[in-house]
Structure 1
Amino acid sequence: MSVRILALVGSLRAGSHNRQLAEAAAKHAPAGADIQLFEGLADVPFYNEDIDVEGSVPAAAARLREAAGQADAFLLFSPEYNGTMPAVLKNAIDWLSRPYGAGAISGKPVAVVGTAFGQYGGVWAQDDVRKAAGIAGAAVLEDVKLSIPGSVTRFAETHPADDSEVATALTEVVGRLSEQVTPAAA
């Protein structure tokens, strides 16, 4: 049986290099790993306990939780916006952290990767994503990292899926993430 990995991309831009990175991860996933890119993060309203009421959770948030509930693990892709993670990714983590102690992300393995224009590839943002996911209850793989600098130039004419160094690194990340899933979950 395949390990089901839900990919959440912190950039909403159609031509996002992080989205392309997620596509590359799906394309180069090792055997036994199935990566699904979640579509619709832009539609999820900002987390608010007043609207997180059983029976009336906004449809987009309910879809996110349902997809996350079916996942064995998560692969989060984060660019860096003003030195930190994008709000859309933080918002997804907030929705997935509830109900407290029993959220869809609770106890599940999470790896965080990404690319950014700067010289460090979004390291600060990705560290913030790891921190937020861990506090939300995820089993964050702190030693599984991939931060690709210079995205605007590196991927100007080459899709990340066609960059052999990136493809190899993504395959390794997905493989290590998959190893963290308990056999009963997969």
Structure 2
Amino acid sequence: MSVRILALVGSLRAGSHNRQLAEAAVKLAPEGAEIELFEGLADIPFYNEDIDVEGDVPAAAARLREAVAGVDALLLFSPEYNGTIPAVLKNAIDWLSRPFGASSISAKPLAVVGTAYGQFGGVWAQDETRKAAGIAGAKVLEDVKLSIPGSVVRFAETHPSDDAEVTAQLAEVIAQLHGQANSPVAA
């Protein structure tokens, strides 16, 4: 049985280095694992309990919940916007945290990685993402980290999948996430 991992990217920009990093992850999936890049975070309305009504949940939010319910683990890619998590990624976590006590993210192994222009590679945003996902109920792999600094320069002419150091580190993250998702405790 293959482990299914869903990747969520916190940047909507067409040339996003985090999206490129997610694309590299898809290629690096080890045997026995499949990584799917979720499309559609931009279509999900901001979380509002008034519109989160059973049987009438906005279609884009319902699609996200269904996608997460159908996978074994999550891999989140977070850039850093003004020192914190991008709104689109936080919004996805908010939708996934509901319904309270029965959310699709509950107990799913989850790792957060990313790249940013700054010298720390988005560490603050990734820490905030881990915090929000953990509160939402995910089984956050706190020690599985990858923060790549200087994205604008480092990936100016090189796709992350062509950077040997990045692919080695990303492959290790994926292997650890795969191991957690594949363990009997994760099920």
Q: TM-score range by the shorter chain?
A: over 0.9
Structure 1 match to 2:35:
35
8 Å CA contact retained: 1:61, 1:95:
yes
Output the aligned Cα RMSD.
Answer: 1.1
Match of 1:102 in 2: 102
Hey, what does 2:137 align to over in structure 1? Answer: 137
Residue 112 of structure 1 pairs with residue 112 of structure 2? yes
Question: Residue 8 of structure 1: CA displacement?
Answer: 0.2
Indicate yes or no: 2:157 matched with 1:160. Answer: no
Aligned length: 186
Deviations 1:42-61 (A, max 9, x none): 00000001000011100000
Q: Could you list the runs of 4 or more consecutive aligned residues of structure 1 that deviate by over 4 angstroms after TM superposition?
A: 182-186
1:34: Cα distance to partner? 0.6
- TM-score w.r.t. the length of structure 1 is 0.97
The CA distance in 2 between the partners of 1:121 and 1:183, in whole Å, is 30
CA offset at residue 120 of structure 1? 0.2
- Mapped to 2, the partners of 1:172 and 1:70 lie a distance apart of 24
Structure 2 counterpart of 1:10:
10
Equivalent residue letter for 1:75: L
**Structure 2: gaps spanning 5 or more residues:** none
Q: Please report how far the alpha carbon of residue 183 of structure 1 lies from its aligned counterpart in structure 2 after TM superposition.
A: 5.1
Check whether the contact 1:29–1:170 (CA below 8 A) recurs between aligned residues.
no
Task: Describe how 1:42-81 pairs up with structure 2 within 5 A.
Answer: 42-81=42-81
Aligned match of 1:127? 127
CA distance in 2, matches of 1:135, 1:151: 29
Which TM-score applies when normalising by structure 2?
0.97
